[in-house]
Amino acid sequence: MDIVVCVKTNPDLQLVRVKNREAVLDGVPFKIGDLEKNALEAAVALRTAAGGKITALCLAEGNRKAAEDIKVALAMGADEAVVIDDPALAAPDQAAVAAALAAAVKKIGTCDLLLFGEGSTDNYSGQVGARVAEILGVPQIGYARKIEAVDGAVRCERSMDDMLETLEAPLPAVVTVVSEINEPTIPGLMQIMKAKSKPLQVWSLADLGLDAARLAPTREIVSNLAEEQDRKHILFDGSAAEQADAFVNVLIKEGVLGR
């Protein structure tokens, strides 16, 4: 089973600070999303069970070091990597991301299974997997917490509100995964060294036969600011019992407790 794992690199959110309500991204390094690491780990398990090749596919989206950052995916076990890097896609909307990824999947050629995280670490829109499935005309299963290869299909378990489901989709198919699916392995030095000699290609939109003008964002970000929180910030003091009593008095005064 040949698998393409779509991987997004995101600004490291632990290092993003908010200043004057704006997220400060200058100098913040990018890294592969956590859910994409789960997807890579799932791909490695499927390859062990069913054979095949794993391609890590990444759209740079303005990350100038994407071709470097994607090497983590190679160290985690991907056989090869493809980075789509084009200035026209520095800040794409989800439709453009999906169009570029779908075109790259076609160019890669053999793909039985396309894996995504259920959402990206930074924006978490969860749109791209479903859009790619529609472009390619293949079935999709979202939120998989278990995937296995069965004859010509994938069988996935997922949790949906109050229901547990086991679904089966014929290949080729798109599957998005949640973090419960596995614990990603941290690559060792050997894997990191080996990753350096694995094939890595960088494609432009022209390589994919796509017209940049048709991928212009149809979405406008009006503003992107931290919310202003109006909270009281009152800390109690005294012993545990005194603080507890003071707190309960406040709850009564605020109308939360008491009848």
Partner 1 sequence: MAVLLVYSEKVETARELVAGGKQLGVALGLGVSAVALGPGAGAAASSLAAAGADTVYVSEDAAFEGWPADAVAAGLAQIAELAGASVVLVGSTRRGKETAPRLAQKLGAGCVSDVNSLVTEGGELVAGRYAFGGATVAREKLGTAVKVFAVMPKTFDSEGACAGAGTVETPTLDVSSSVRVVDRRAKEGDHVNLDAAPRIVGVGRGFNAREDLALGDQLAAALEAVVGCTKSLADFEWLGEDRIIGLSGAKTAPDLYMSVGVSGQIQHTVGVAGAKLIAAVNKDKEAPIFAMADYGIVGDLFEVVPALTAAVKAAKQ
Which residue number, 109 or 137, has a Cβ lying nearer to partner 1? 137
CA proximity to 226, closest of 80, 62, 38, 22: 22
Residue 22 engages partner 1 in binding (rule: CB under 8 A): yes
Which residue number, 150 or 193, has a Cβ lying nearer to partner 1? 150
Alpha-carbon distance values, 92 to 26, 71, 97, 199, 249 (Å): 19, 23, 6, 26, 52
* Cα(6)–Cα(211) distance, integer angstroms: 21
Q: What is the enclosing helix (H) or strand (E) of 37?
A: helix 34-50
* Cα(162)–Cα(149) distance, integer angstroms: 26
Using CB under 8 A as the binding rule, the residues of this chain from 163 to 192 that contact partner 1 are 163-170, 176, 179-180
SS3 93: coil
Using CB under 8 A as the binding rule, the residues of this chain from 204 to 243 that contact partner 1 are 218-227, 229, 231-236, 240-241, 243
Q: Among 11, 77, 92, 184, which residue interacts with partner 1 (rule: CB under 8 A)?
A: 11
CA proximity to 92, closest of 117, 112, 63: 63
Q: Among 48, 162, 197, 209, which residue interacts with partner 1 (rule: CB under 8 A)?
A: 162
Which residue number, 124 or 206, has a Cβ lying nearer to partner 1? 124
Tell me the closest approach of the beta carbon of residue 90 to partner 1, in angstroms. 17
Interaction pattern, residues 116-155, with partner 1; x per rule: CB under 8 A: -----xxxxxxxxxxx-xxx---xxxxx-----------x
Which residue number, 96 or 200, has a Cβ lying nearer to partner 1? 96
